Amino acid sequence: MPGMALMAERAPHRTELRVYWEDTDAAGIVYYASYLRFAERGRTEMLRALGVGQRRMAEEQGIAFAVRRCACEYLRPARLDDALVVETSVARAAGAAIEMRQDISRGGELLARLDVTVACIGAGGRPARLPPALRHALAAFVAEPS
């Protein structure tokens, strides 16, 4: 159907990272805003794995991504030197927006869950439709519900 949103049915993309001093407070516990940076890395690496270069998109097509909405539920603390995994999946992609779910975990234990809407923007920060190459890349990652 035209305009039908894409729904994730595949395993999420996984990005592994380590907690450094710069990510923590004085007690060695991850500062809440650091989870936003971890999620950004996860989204960027998912796009990179799909062959979508954000720098190239900006230079060649004049478009970029901006977080429009982010809701984060903090469940357990991460600490200095923890090995974390950011799992990123696409819940919906339509028009100028991509809705993603991102889970951040340590050793299989869920620490934080983020629901993020990313807007595709063009000149002057105005909404721009997702480019065909990105739609094609996302199509390889997600499938319509059966």
* Token couple for 63: 């478009």
Catalytic residue (one of 23, 25, 103, 115):
25
SS3 97: strand
User: Can you tell me the distance from the alpha carbon of 52 to that of 127, in angstroms, rounded to the nearest whole number?
Assistant: 19
Q: Would you state the torsion angle of the CA atoms of residues 123, 127, 128, 133, taken in this order, to the nearest 10 degrees?
A: 110
96 phi and psi, to 5 degrees? Answer: -110, 15
User: Residue 125 carries which DSSP code?
Assistant: G
User: Catalytic annotation on 103?
Assistant: no
Identify the burial level of 93 via C-beta atoms within 10 angstroms of its C-beta, where 0-12 means exposed, 13-18 middle and 19 or more buried. buried
**Are 19 and 81 within 8 A, CB to CB?**
yes
Active site residues: 25
